[in-house]
Amino acid sequence: MIKTLKLIIAPLWIAAFAAVACMKKEAIDTLPHPAMEYTDLNGLEIGDREYYNLDVDANGTVDFTFSTRSVGDPILKQDRLQYLAGSKIETNLLNNANDDSPKMVRGEKIGINHKGYNWYELSSVLLAEKVNPLEGASWWQGVWKDADHNYLPLQLIKAGKLYHGWVEISFNALKGKLVLHKAAICTESNKEIKAGF
């Protein structure tokens, strides 16, 4: 009789623990997202010799610049048209060892730590570039060359506190345009946020 009870009770305990574990995970995933301040950029296009200064927190100060620059390379005999994002003092972009920034999808987490990347102020990240060789066909390269409503993570520092945000970006290689759709910044300091939320 006791053996039979053990055989019945053991699976019930396992099922109960599994149910509790699932409930806790669901509760964590359904926490409300921190409050965000949004800026609609209306599909602003940036092409050759154009730039846009973004004031993501609407305080009258430029926080990030999106721009292009032409670079001539006489050794490789090619010109490159580069599309860049730049941060200022007390504004940060995520950089890896190659000065690339991650191309995030909606829902990816943006916080203090990102494996393989560090937050840097006064930074410039190469989003995409068109390589025009002296001979032969041109080509596009860079992490963001095929971006389609992806998210560039960003960070502001105010009074020593960190505020996370994002810029929604697409890239139109046919027109040679970087497209800015929307930007957002968290109104609460030191909070992890989700791209696109």
Please give the Cα distance from 193 to 197 (Å, whole number): 8
Contact (Cβ atoms closer than 8 angstroms) between residue 51 and residue 191: no
| pLDDT given for residue 12 in this prediction | 44
Question: Residue 127 — very low, low, confident or very high, per pLDDT cuts 50/70/90?
Answer: very high
Across the range 48-72, mean pLDDT stands at 97
| pLDDT given for residue 29 in this prediction | 56
pLDDT, mean over the chain: 89
Q: Cα-Cα-Cα-Cα dihedral of 125, 130, 131, 133, to 10°?
A: -150
Residue with tokens 């964590």: 28
Residue 114 has pLDDT above 70, yes or no: yes
pLDDT digits 0-9 by tens, 133-183? 999 999 999 999 999 999 999 999 999 999 999 999 999 999 999 999 999
- Name the least confident of 27-41, 64-78, 93-107: 27-41
Question: Residue 72 — very low, low, confident or very high, per pLDDT cuts 50/70/90?
Answer: very high
Residue 6 has pLDDT above 90, yes or no: no
CA distances from 156 to 34, 91, 137, 143 (A): 15, 5, 41, 23
Residue 1 has pLDDT above 50, yes or no: no
Residue 23 has pLDDT above 60, yes or no: no
Question: Residue 65 — very low, low, confident or very high, per pLDDT cuts 50/70/90?
Answer: very high
- How large a percentage of the chain has pLDDT more than 70? 85
Q: 82: phi > 0 → left, psi -120 to 50 → alpha, else beta; which?
A: beta
Backbone angles phi, psi at 14, to 5 degrees: -60, -45
| pLDDT given for residue 188 in this prediction | 97
Backbone angles phi, psi at 143, to 5 degrees: -55, -35
19 token code pair: 């149910």
- How large a percentage of the chain has pLDDT more than 90? 84
